[in-house]
Structure 1
Amino acid sequence: MKQIRWGFIGCGEVTEKKSGPAFREVEGSDVVAVMGRNPRKTRLYAERHHIPKWYTDASELIDDPDVNAIYIATPPSSHATFAIMAMKAGKPVYVEKPLASSYDDCVRVNRVSEQTGIPCFVAYYRRYLPYFVKVKNLVNSGAIGKIMNVQLRFSCPPREIDHSIPSELPWRLQPDISGGGYFYDLAPHQFDLLQYMFGIIIKTEGICINRGGFYKAEDTISACFQFESGVPGSGSWCFVGHESSRDDRIEVIGDAGMLSFSVFSYAPIELITSEGQTSITVPNPPYVQLPIIKSVIEHLQGSNVCVCTSVSATPVNWVMDRILGKF
């Protein structure tokens, strides 16, 4: 069995529980090096997780002969740069979502992956979670009949950190780093799931406004879209709403019933048909990225095929950039 020896570029919060430990849960996989900009934090991370090597220079980690695969867990603005560096060095890449901070950068990544023949995978791990596998199976089984419409709603109050002065705002609210505001951070998971279920979105338009005034990025978005299957859909996002408006829900309307589910809270799946209403609870693994990381590792070992590639992830950025009016 081929041994996959990972090097992490970035060692922030997401690597602590969501992803990092999962790399050692799969047979034939280990983490041998980590890179971070802050020497002290990077060293402590390496010690805490028993990782033998740590760097503050991404080039040194990529060039390390003991590393043969790269996990990129940095803010989106640097995803394309590091992914391209790794692929040109002959090392496969697994990159956090979204693939990049713009559609154009996604295209650059895909071009290099094609030229080098080195695969690039993207962490749209919800595709592989039991909760969403159940949702997709219900849709595909015809449980609610022919799909007629998809409606997405997300609303939450502003966070305390949103009130910070501009220089102290989190990177997610700095469009030059994140690609947009909270929309660019959260909507990728929603759009990836919807396109995985209903096909690529071929048309979309959006209205994007800043209503709260806490920061410059958009905080309220409404959009309509159409999937290649012909199904129309709509979405609304508000990151400055009142607590009473908190919502995380996608409704799939069919001609024989309706299916609703959440994306982030994993609330019970609700299935409503002429036979009545059913509430379905589906537990997820403790490390939510474990199923997709297992698929990526098995792909690199030659025993499986992971379909969550940079090519399949790129339409998400196209949709978001169109909604935000980037082109």
Structure 2
Amino acid sequence: MSDPWSRPDPLIVDRATELRDSADLDAATAIVVTEGRLLASAGRLVELPPAEHPEARLRVYLGRENGRDLIAIVPADPSFADGYDGIGGERLVGLRDLLQPFAAHGAEGLRDRELGSTAVALEAWHASHGHCARCGAATEPVKAGWVRRCPADGREHYPRVDPAVIVAIVDEADRLLLAHAAHWSPKRFSILAGYVEPGETFEQAVHREVWEESGIELTHVAYAGSQPWPFPASVMVGFTARTDATEASVDGEEITEARFVSREEIIALVADGEVVLAPHGSIARRLIESWFGGPITDPAPDERIDV
């Protein structure tokens, strides 16, 4: 089973890195991102021609497609969102809200997701890295938004990406380990994940995180795919693993509950609203459904328990 963000293919839109110093951003087609939300309509990104660009606080070059340049604009006016309340179908939505609509649009949806995730990640990076980590001087965006330069010492700062691992663990009975994190809403369950620490490989991070959170030792750890997750700056690296354990001993701090479930049990738990799985479009959902052997149907919105 493939996931739209876990694909071995090249980028859909050519980032054209060689043009970051020379592209005419005033003549580019723009998508809009503000405070992690994107201007969209009917599940697709809204693309603005040059004449409709809002005044920009930040512009980031996204690449070149079919002979035209694409950029992301962060509006200068903080009240920009007030003009988009859904009238005419255009509204500002979070990237998570676009996961399922994007998936429904096939190749065009994948292309939009690629552009949207890049825009959200870079907006967040610029917002949180406005000063030089060495001297504290205010930095300025250069190279069409892909670098921040310190005017005091000339040092260049690049967007950060925080690697994290996520793993689908099955026991000898082929049951999947589902866990509930302390900061999640009560019914939310997913698979174990955590950040990679300095000095360890992805696989070592998998073993460490799982042991720390569940007291489980793993065997047969194998890479399964990856996914950009710009909330605010992660890339999720997915794995599968097996264990001889039959139950978990949670840490009670990060993870408050964990249990192995069979395929029959997970269907019943989801249908009854006792378990709400990771959202469609996430690598967590992809790993869960890969173990299950196909899509898992969520209850209709009016049938679900509020989470």
The structure with higher relative contact order (CA 8 Å, sep 6+) is 1
Return the structure number with greater helix share.
1
Using the size of structure 1 for normalisation, the TM-score is 0.26
Which of these two proteins has the greater Rg computed from alpha carbons?
2
Return the structure number with greater strand share.
2
